[in-house]
Structure 1
Amino acid sequence: MHNIYMDNAATTFPKAPGVGAAVKNYIDNVGINVKRGTYSSAFSAGEVVLEVREMICRLFNFDNPDNVVFTMNITQSMNYLIKGILQAGDHCILSSMEHNAVMRPLSQLCSQRIEFSKVQCDRFGRLDVEDIKQHIKPNTKAVIMTHASNVCGTILPIYEIGKLCKAYNLNFIVDSAQTAGIYEIDFREMNADAVAFTGHKGLLGPQGIGGFVISNPLAKKMDSLICGGTGSASESEFQPDYLPDKFEPGTMNLPGIFGLHAALTYLMKTGIKSIRDEELRITQQFIEGILNMRGIRLAGLPGAQGRTAVVSIDFTKGDNGEVAYLLDKEYGIMTRCGLHCAPSAHKTLGTFPQGTVRFSFSHYNTIEEVKYAIDSIHKINKGL
């Protein structure tokens, strides 16, 4: 029995070629900090950090690498943005498909007189931009949206939402966890004020490195969630107010940044469209193979159009947890079962509280593996 990894929405595996070597090279041969030392190796490491900022700018069509802020992951990025923007008396708007990286910080802020409204998506996870308008209030400060669902892969109309935010003078914050590195993201065309990203999913990098790209006007309005040493303005006991230092206290995850450098190099050489086309090709094959099976309900759209390579299945004749266990134990297929840190999305899709078995593909998966997965699902489903 061979093992097949189909849980790329959680974290991609394998990583891009060269990522592990880049992390090891930093630890074994570089090892120093940046913005602290005045020796040549510190400057050389700083050049790599700057290169990664510049690569992120190219990825998101942004023009200032100083406005690329590194964090641990997209959850930390969203906490920075949400808690830095919203103040007592403010209101924001989000979709019913949001991940708990958005929902939990906002729920926590309710005790500080901060309100939010959910725009209800349909049973396929689709959002009608016109529905946002009815939730706008005089105290609405921001719209915070995921680009695509981590449960069913449905893509939200981010560019249209950005136009609406510009028309109503609302800050627009985008969670790109499921789309960065797979779909083109144009910061300007999107009318975004900030785009949060993580390195370990579609960017094919290591865990523990993420960040956000932020506009100057929004950065000036925001408070820093964490303060501390930056290696700059050390004569002051106050956090610097310039970027990226304002939001980057403490020692960076330099092994992660070196790994992300290798991942982005591969990504740009291979091409986002090439990766996306391959992922959607195998996704379509998978959906066609399971769509008409009795006792199986597909959550989300019934085809590859309008989605990412994330497919969730509800086994109506049995327990989804048992199915995921059997897929792994009997067939070596690794998936993720449950509510995927997105209970609101599952309520929207009609799969709460039982959750789903989620298959999420990468361009490293093959048609042969997809056929094997379909056959395995058929065998398990017959026994339920």
Structure 2
Amino acid sequence: MGGDPAAEQVAKAAEEVVQRATKEKAPLRIGHLRVEDSAHVNFEDDVLRPPARFALKIEAFDMGELNSERPQGKTDLFLRARLNEFTQIEAQGWASPLAPKPDFALSTSVKYLQLPQLSPYTAQAIGLNIDSGRLQIKADATAQQGELQGVINLVANSLALTPASAEIAGQAEKTIGVPINTALNLLEDSEGKITLSLPLSGNLASPSFDFGDVITLAMTNVVKGAVLAPFKMALLPLNLLVDAASGSAPKLAPITFDANTITPDAQGKTILASLAKLLQEEEKLTVQVCGRTTLQDRTAALAKQALPPESDPIYPVAVADLRAGLGQLAQSRTTAVRQALDEQYGIRRGRVLECRSYFDDQDNGPPRVEIKF
């Protein structure tokens, strides 16, 4: 770390005073500390490759009285600074840093934080690269007898994330229930903004307390709730979201079909209508549809036209033809769903993608089209 010589001298002197007072158990008293528009601190994290570099310009810093003989006394704090020229930081409030259990009430705002600068840290911590995005933060926090309570309000613009690996992508999907890009699309409003509110709580005096853990847990819970909210509103009243409470990734219930046809049954039509409603409300969302034919289709097909005896030379050909026909039926179901969403509900086909359709002779489930995020 490098920086302004004057600021470094002030910091060094303050550190020496605190160390001496702590060692000698002598009273510590600072009447007032002020740093004005001349302090520059440069940070370089050479643990990363390439190193991450940050330049902090302190425009104003004020700290009120600090007195070890009155450890419960409130020290007023104010900071206004710029990070890497464009990010505006402001914090104000009070703290009792010498109290046995920390007390404080602080409000902090950060504006125009360019998120790609933090990508090396998010990649290392959670396996996600930040390709683009700008963040504004408003945080209010208090601590009484070491018990933290607070909230962080975040507004992100044009956020784009990519997993560092396929394994990380799978882990992220398992955590929040849907792929990362789907989660971002659901969270964004019509202007491309993501607004989140993260509640904070914990015991600052606990040896196991970690701000990173608190924020990670809050972020995970908020993202889970925000991502699942559209599905709950649109689908849960009709019991169309499966595995939502099992701890695994939530999935949409499939569109079920009458056996050996491309016609959805009554439940399938209900799910199709709810899927259309979801896509109409979430304009950035895309889904995949995958036709499946099962043993029920095979049984219905054989009821119409039985196979010849296995001893008949034509038997292998008939079996191959049957399997081919059932495979084509699976594909036809995929096409039928895409057509219905387009022609009946106005959902353009570019938002409803195909995944592999097939016949599975070990599948005891209903004839269906599966829906994936």
TM (norm. structure 2) is: 0.25
Please tell me whether Structure 1 or Structure 2 has the larger radius of gyration of its CA atoms: 2
Q: Which has the higher contact order (CA 8 A, sep 6+)?
A: 1
More strand per residue: 2
